[in-house]
Amino acid sequence: MRRAVIFVFPVFGAIASLFLLARPSHASDVVVYTDSLSSGWQDWSWHATVNFNNASPARDSRSIAMTLNQPWAGLSLRVDNPGLPGSPYEAVSFWVHGGNSGTRYLRFYIDETDHSQPGTPAVNFDAPAGVWTQFTISLAALGNPVAIKRLNIADRTGSAQPTFYVDDIRIISRTSPLLALAANVTVQANTVVTPLSPYLRASNLPAWLGETRLNDATFRARAAASGITLLRLPGGSWSNSYGWLSCELRQNHPSRQPCGPGWESWVARPRDFIAFLKATGMEGMWVVSPLGTSKEAAAAVAYFNGSPTDNRVIGVDLRGTDWYTVGRWAQLRVQAGFTDPVNIKRWEFGNEVYASKPHLGGSLCQSWGWEDTWTCDGYEYVLGKGSGVTRNEGYLEFRSAMRAVDPTIQVGAVGFEWPGTPFDGQISWQTYAGWGARVISAAGSALDFYAIHPYSFFNLPSLSSILSNPQTHWSPIVAAINAAYDAYAGGRRAPIFVTEFNLFSVSSQDTNQLMTRAINALFLADSLGQAAQLGIPLFAQWDLANGRDSGTGTEYGLMHEDNNYYRAPQYYVYPLWTRFGSQMLPSTMTPLSTTQLSVYAGRVNSATLSVLAINKTGQPVDLTVTVSGFGPLTGGAAWEVKAAGLLAQSVTYNGSANPTDGLIEPPATFSASGSLASRTLAPYSITLLHLYQPPPNLPFRAWLASARR
């Protein structure tokens, strides 16, 4: 059964060979425009300037340049009498380039006659600037027209729109090879496995959301259902200015670091973060400010992890402030309502310190620096800078003081994804003057983990480059860091923690709000798979909820705090990966490429294997899974996240467009036997399959009988 949807196909999608017939006697694809308007078709556009011989941009040598001069203007292409019947055809496909800037907001519909008013139901679509995007619109979505007389692409905003470009317009037959793809996946269940860390499902929770949002019941329920296991706190660059005690007491004092510039009256406090963690069942990770002292950071460890009866002395810091005992700060936590220790085990010393502002961080800093920290030199960051009361203590001093309170914690250092060499003379975006290499060299065996923020894009990318990015982005970064370990740490390889990532490093560059669209869900699902294969133990998306960029309207968050915690498409990646299991199994796929389909296989338990498949194309994929060393298969279940197109800002979860807060919507079930299972993957979808075999401690017939009860 085919579904009525609009598909968006990225630039890399290869179009199969087509019969170039304008009006075939059998059900072949109809070519309407490729470099020129096909014979038998006419231009019936209205209130628009149309050039059918535009040289650039074009997918081949020519395209249609369209300028909509008035509201509701449109491109209209009419086929000669008697027209085409609708029944032999499945969809209409075309490519649109949104022009030089912004996004074109358009609609597509079909006229069944020369006098159809208003024609078939219209399907809206958005064409971003700077890239070619393919749209494949099913005739079912257009009301299954009996006849096809005119194809129309029109304004839907009620205003004129600047020039955009259209190319490769085709009417696709029901038997077209474009309508289905096939893939075969073989899973090796009886071989070496890669362990999956539960902390691959991590995110960030920023303090600027405030106490009220962190206490919101909907936010908490949806966060708990997401499957996120760990939250990094208290929030990116704000971590460098967040004085934990001043914020907790909502009161600044000269003897301790202040609670940021005017934040103390409203910002989320440590106690608010604890309440959120306990309500959602998540763990926390804390970023200590490098602007305070090592003993102030030790007191934070005592607040979260200490016992109120612990009389060990933290002592007086280099600025003369007495931080008393471990128990004093644990008692403050108890007074906030939390008797038991929180046991935060992962701590990070600062956020992106390498990007300090030049007037604060010295000669190695660049003019584009954004952090309010005190050095851009990796050696100084680890070893400290200055003397006396004005000294800035380094990573080693902080780590020693913090682990004196709780020796079971890990304290990580800020790294950079491209470590460079310690001898880099010129700072650059690629190496930051060897920041990473200097940190690795100076920290030595004390480096508990190396934290990086490898956002994939700064400028607006093409859709195809987003979908292919996970396979090209993560592996070279891990290789570069491991090479630096070999060169500057004697081969000791500390864990690599990715403590922030998303599509864009700077939200003002996301002018098409791609982080809020389905393409980011596909990117995120694939990135998690790549991180798992590379053995990355912690992988924290930025962020759980963020707030809108005032200029572009984009939002980093898995949920949108300004819209009743609306779950963005990328949110639904985590419930699927939560069910993947704790081990990754080797798998091979043919004949599709990873630019079309990514597949990851895993083990849930002794009786269940998993396959997570990411269909990046606008076509259904008939997936056949063959398992080796497992079975016989007795059936399966499928959880599905599906979008109407790459640019959709909503998805369905197990068929529901508005799932319950607890995501109780059941998966689909399917049959399987022997070593084979099959499933059709929807266009632009993420599907998690569970494949079942009888538990090993029961005979097959006994298990089957119990399963049927």
* Per-residue confidence (pLDDT) for residue 430, from 0 to 100: 56
Confidence of residue 699 (pLDDT cuts 50, 70, 90): low
| pLDDT tens, position by position, 127-159 | 888 888 888 888 888 888 999 999 999 999 999
Q: Is residue 672 within 8 Å of residue 633, measured between CB atoms?
A: yes
Q: Is the dihedral of CA 225, 229, 234, 239 positive or negative?
A: negative
- Three-state DSSP state, 43: strand
Report whether 198 contacts 127 (CB < 8 A).
Answer: no
CATH of the domain at 471: 3.20.20.80
Per-residue model confidence (pLDDT) at position 80: 94
Residues spanned by the domain of 115? 6-179
- CB count within 10 Å of CB 170 equals 23
Boundary of a domain, candidates 179, 209, 243:
179
Q: Are strands 147-148 and 181-188 parallel, antiparallel or unpaired?
A: unpaired
Q: What is the pLDDT of residue 55?
A: 95
Distances (CA, A) of 268 to 213, 250, 299, 660: 9, 10, 19, 27
Cβ-based neighbours of 563, under 8 Å, separated by 6 or more: none
Lowest mean pLDDT among 71-80, 231-240, 461-470: 461-470
- Report pLDDT for 178: 67
Which pLDDT score is estimated for 566?
A: 98
In a domain, 1, yes or no: no
280 and 305, same domain (yes or no): yes
Per-residue pLDDT band for 366 (boundaries 50, 70, 90) equals: confident
Q: Is residue 319 part of a domain?
A: yes
* Beta carbons within 8 Å of 81's beta carbon, 6+ residues apart: none
pLDDT level of residue 569 (50, 70, 90 thresholds): very high
* Residue 20 token pair: 């170039």
**Can you tell me which residue has the tokens 């949110």?**
571
Choice among 302-306, 519-523, 586-590, 704-708 with the minimum mean pLDDT:
704-708
Domain CATH number, residue 86? 2.60.120.430
List the beta strands (DSSP E) in 47-88: 48-54, 63-68, 74-79, 84-85
Report angle CA 161, 162, 164 to the nearest 5 degrees. 105
Contact status, residue 89 vs residue 172, Cβ threshold 8 Å:
yes
In a domain, 44, yes or no: yes
Residues 256 and 401 in one domain: yes
Structural domains of the chain, count: 3
Mean pLDDT within 527-534: 97
Query: At residue 172, does pLDDT exceed 50?
Result: yes
Q: Are residues 516 and 605 in the same domain?
A: no
Q: Do 549 and 668 belong to one domain?
A: no
Same domain for 574 and 464, yes or no, is yes
Tell whether 98 and 213 lie within a shared domain: no
Whether the per-residue pLDDT at 23 is higher than 70: the answer is no
DSSP state of 655: T
Mark which of 560, 578, 596 sits at the end of a domain.
578
| 76 backbone dihedrals φ, ψ, rounded to 5° | -135, 125
What integer best gives the mean pLDDT of the chain?
91
Q: Where a domain ends, among 520, 554, 578?
A: 578
β-strand partners of 78 = 42, 150
Does 307 have pLDDT greater than 90? Answer: yes
What's the mean pLDDT in 496-506?
97
What is the phi/psi pair of residue 584, to 5°? -105, 135
pLDDT at 238 over 70: yes
Considering the domain architecture, whether residues 387 and 296 belong to the same structural domain is answered as yes
Token representation of residue 530: 């790549």
- What integer pLDDT is reported at residue 90 of this predicted model? 87
Question: Is 80 exceeded by the pLDDT of residue 117?
Answer: no
Residue 6 has pLDDT above 80, yes or no: no
Classify residue 459: in a domain, yes or no: yes
Q: Encoding tokens for residue 386?
A: 């200055």
Q: Find out whether 575 and 236 touch, Cβ atoms under 8 Å.
A: no
Give me the percent of the chain exceeding a pLDDT of 70: 92
Task: Give 44-101 pLDDT, tens digit per residue.
Answer: 999 999 999 999 999 889 999 999 999 999 999 999 999 999 999 988 999 999 999 8
Of 223, 203, 226, which Cα lies nearest the Cα of 215? 223
Query: Residue 133 has what pLDDT?
Result: 83
pLDDT of amino acid 527: 98
- pLDDT at position 4: 31
pLDDT of residue 138: 83
Structural domain includes residue 535: yes
Share of the chain above pLDDT 90, in %: 79
Residues 64 and 111 both lie in one domain? yes
**DSSP string covering 662-702:** T--PPPEEE--BBTEEEEEEPTTEEEEEEEE---TTS-HHH
Residues 487 and 610 in one domain: no
**Residue 588 is part of a domain; what is its CATH number?**
2.60.40.1180
Confidence of residue 334 (pLDDT cuts 50, 70, 90): very high
What's the predicted TM-score (pTM) here? 0.79
Judgement on whether residues 599 and 554 belong to the same structural domain of the protein = no
User: Is 70 exceeded by the pLDDT of residue 451?
Assistant: yes
CB 252 within 8 A of CB 259: yes
Is pLDDT of 705 > 70? no
**Do 225 and 167 have their domain in common?**
no
Residues 6 or more apart whose Cβ sits within 8 Å of residue 528: 200, 201, 539, 573, 577
Tell me if 672 is assigned to some domain: yes
Q: How far apart, in whole angstroms, are the C-alpha atoms of residue 152 and residue 157? A: 15
pLDDT at 20: 25
**Cα gap 250→258, rounded to integer Å:** 10
Spatial contact of 579 and 183, defined as CB atoms under 8 Å apart: no
Residues 90, 219, single domain; the answer is no
The whole-number pLDDT of residue 425 equals 54
pLDDT at 702 over 60: no
Give the type of residue at 92. Answer: V
φ/ψ bin of 137: left (φ > 0), alpha (ψ from -120 to 50), beta (otherwise): beta
- On the question of pLDDT at 16 being above 50, the answer is no
List pLDDT tens digits, range 632-676: 999 999 999 999 889 999 999 999 999 999 999 999 999 998 999
Domain-embedded: residue 149: yes
